[in-house]
Amino acid sequence: MKKLITTFFCATILVVGISAQELAYDKSYARWSLGVKGGIDYYRVAPYGTNGFKTHLFKWGYNSYFLQASWAAPSLFFEYSINPYFGIGMEVGWLNFNRGTIKDITYEGVTAPAGVYLGSTVDALAVGSVNILNLMAPYRKNGWRKVSLYANFGIGGGFGSHKSPRDTKWEHGGSFIGMAGLALAFNVSKNWELFLEGQYRSYTNERALSKYNFNDRKSADAVIGFFGVRYKLNQRKDVNGHARSLSAPEYDAYMAEDFSGTRARLNDLTDQVNTLRDKTDRIGNDVEDLKKNKADKVDLDALKDRVRSLEEEIKRLKTGESATASFDNVVFETGTVKLTIDSKEVLTNLVNMLKMHKISSIEISGHTDNTGSESYNLKLSEKRAESVKAYLINEGFEGSKITATGYGFKKPIADNSTAYGRAKNRRVEVTVKK
């Protein structure tokens, strides 16, 4: 039961760690690494070697480890460093727990024969890694920036093989494993890292490692000491190397820079979306206006009447006085500043009339309805006023006497909530001063 609790505890920490990594995940700085490690393992597996010490079949305590020192074959591992705080990976290793010659001993009716006991296990673990120093002491200086302390937690499975002096064949068994450990690492360069690691492993099926183990005994666990080397792949010059090599302040600075750039790009996209939305709304309103009201159609007779009316007012003006005519029927091609053919005909008549009188100045003001943003309509009204000015100059009127101003939707003359009102507000006004 205690073995299951230990394994469940390690599994819980691993899952929580992975969840935390997802919150801190940033694809731009994640990097792979791989390596190899080997060392010494101490398995508490019955029966225990004596080496001159009195032996009990199910003895436990520090002697039960140190009397059975064996070697851990090189283990292979790889890791995905999500950021300088968290990493996830896998490791696979072959670990021995051969014991020296022991004496015949009987304990609680179980006899372990004298001789050499052989044993090994192949373990595969999913491992989560947390950089404790980056969490607790992120602002390390000088050489300490190259040093990291990792807490490692893992879960997995092991396939054990064992043989007693009386056995003619190897016996095998499988077990779930819970692992916890600490690793002290030193970044030799951007690519290479050396480390020392200590692990504790607990096997839930004690008989998988020895038939002399019993599941109600405190046995079938191990303490392992590793020395290893890690190679960090996929370096990036712009982030000063591997994510595992970055200090917390360096990583936070890069993240802030990336966030600033992302926010600027997002703002640009938002502006583009708003512009497209304004244009779409405007097209929709134009379609609505065309369907519900014919005010936008160029009525040549009506426009010519306004030119004649303006001429009558000009004749009555005294020097310094002015008169204004509103040409709400001057039409541009949808969403552009290009005059339609009919509108050009009206403006040609206007120019010819103005040439016949002594005019000191002309102000052309462009106006729009309230469809779309204020900035969009202001620019549109300015461009349309300039378009009319350019046409008048092209038709021979003196350009120095003409000014063009855009007001957007700031000076409506009708209700913008109706199609008819919006049509009236989309206009060009000509103010003539004698």
Write down the pLDDT at residue 84.
Answer: 84
Nearest to 138 by CA among 256, 26, 247: 247
Choosing from 246, 274, 292, the residue where a domain stops is: 246
Nearest to 427 by CA among 374, 368, 340: 368
Choosing from 246, 262, 284, the residue where a domain stops is: 246
The answer to whether residue 36 is domain-embedded is yes
Half-sphere exposure of 311 (CA within 13 A, CB side): 15
Same domain, 242 and 306: no
Range of the domain at 92: 2-246
Q: Please, what sign has the CA dihedral across residues 249, 252, 254, 256? A: negative
Angle at 156 between CA 151 and CA 162, to 5 degrees: 115
Same domain, 316 and 213: no
The answer to whether residue 276 is domain-embedded is no
Write out the H or E segment, with its range, that includes residue 126.
strand 115-131
The answer to whether residue 423 is domain-embedded is yes
Q: Which residues pair with 42 in a beta bridge?
A: 69, 223
Write down the pLDDT at residue 224.
Answer: 94
Same domain, 127 and 207: yes
Nearest to 158 by CA among 205, 128, 124, 181: 124
Same domain, 58 and 162: yes
**How much is the pTM?**
0.52
The letter for the amino acid at 265 is R
Q: How buried is 399 (Cβ within 10 angstroms: 0-12 exposed, 13-18 middle, 19+ buried)?
A: exposed
Model pLDDT for residues 229-280, shown as the tens digit of each residue:
999 886 655 545 677 777 666 666 655 555 555 556 676 777 677 777 767 7
Write down the pLDDT at residue 272.
Answer: 75
The answer to whether residue 291 is domain-embedded is no
Same domain, 189 and 327: no
Residue that is written with structure tokens 């001057």 in the block: 330
User: How far, in Å, CA of 15 to CA of 45, rounded?
Assistant: 30
Choosing from 208, 228, 246, the residue where a domain stops is: 246
Q: How buried is 136 (Cβ within 10 angstroms: 0-12 exposed, 13-18 middle, 19+ buried)?
A: exposed
Write down the pLDDT at residue 103.
Answer: 63
The answer to whether residue 408 is domain-embedded is yes
Asked if 403 and 361 touch (Cβ cutoff 8 Å), the reply is yes
- The two three-digit tokens of residue 209, written as one number: 């490692």
Nearest to 327 by CA among 355, 299, 351: 299
Residues, the chain: 434
Same domain, 93 and 167: yes
Nearest to 86 by CA among 200, 308, 248, 257: 248
Residue that is written with structure tokens 């073995």 in the block: 3
Same domain, 238 and 310: no
Asked if 371 and 280 touch (Cβ cutoff 8 Å), the reply is no
Same domain, 6 and 70: yes
Half-sphere exposure of 146 (CA within 13 A, CB side): 12
Half-sphere exposure of 401 (CA within 13 A, CB side): 18
Same domain, 46 and 115: yes
Query: What CATH number is given to the structural domain containing 174?
Result: 2.40.160.20
The answer to whether residue 17 is domain-embedded is yes
Write down the pLDDT at residue 48.
Answer: 63
Same domain, 71 and 169: yes
- The two three-digit tokens of residue 143, written as one number: 């050489």
Strands 361-367 and 402-406: parallel
Per-residue pLDDT tens, the chain, 434 aa: give them. 445 555 555 555 545 454 444 444 445 555 789 999 999 998 878 776 544 334 444 444 455 555 567 888 889 999 998 888 889 999 999 999 887 656 666 656 667 777 778 889 999 999 999 999 888 887 777 778 888 999 999 999 999 998 888 888 899 999 999 999 999 999 888 788 999 999 999 998 888 888 877 655 556 888 999 999 999 886 655 545 677 777 666 666 655 555 555 556 676 777 677 777 767 766 766 666 555 444 445 566 777 777 778 778 877 777 777 777 777 656 666 556 777 777 788 888 888 888 888 888 889 998 888 888 888 888 888 988 898 888 888 888 888 888 999 998 898 888 888 877 887 888 888 888 87
Same domain, 8 and 154: yes
Model pLDDT for residues 47-90, shown as the tens digit of each residue:
765 443 344 444 444 555 555 678 888 899 999 988 888 899 99
User: How far, in Å, CA of 202 to CA of 123, rounded?
Assistant: 12
Half-sphere exposure of 25 (CA within 13 A, CB side): 10
The answer to whether residue 98 is domain-embedded is yes
When divided into structural domains, the chain yields a total of 2
The answer to whether residue 21 is domain-embedded is yes
- The two three-digit tokens of residue 222, written as one number: 């191990």
Write down the pLDDT at residue 182.
Answer: 96
Asked if 247 and 84 touch (Cβ cutoff 8 Å), the reply is yes
Same domain, 313 and 238: no
Label residue 310 left, alpha or beta by phi (over 0 means left) and psi (-120 to 50 means alpha). Answer: alpha
Query: What CATH number is given to the structural domain containing 429?
Result: 3.30.1330.60
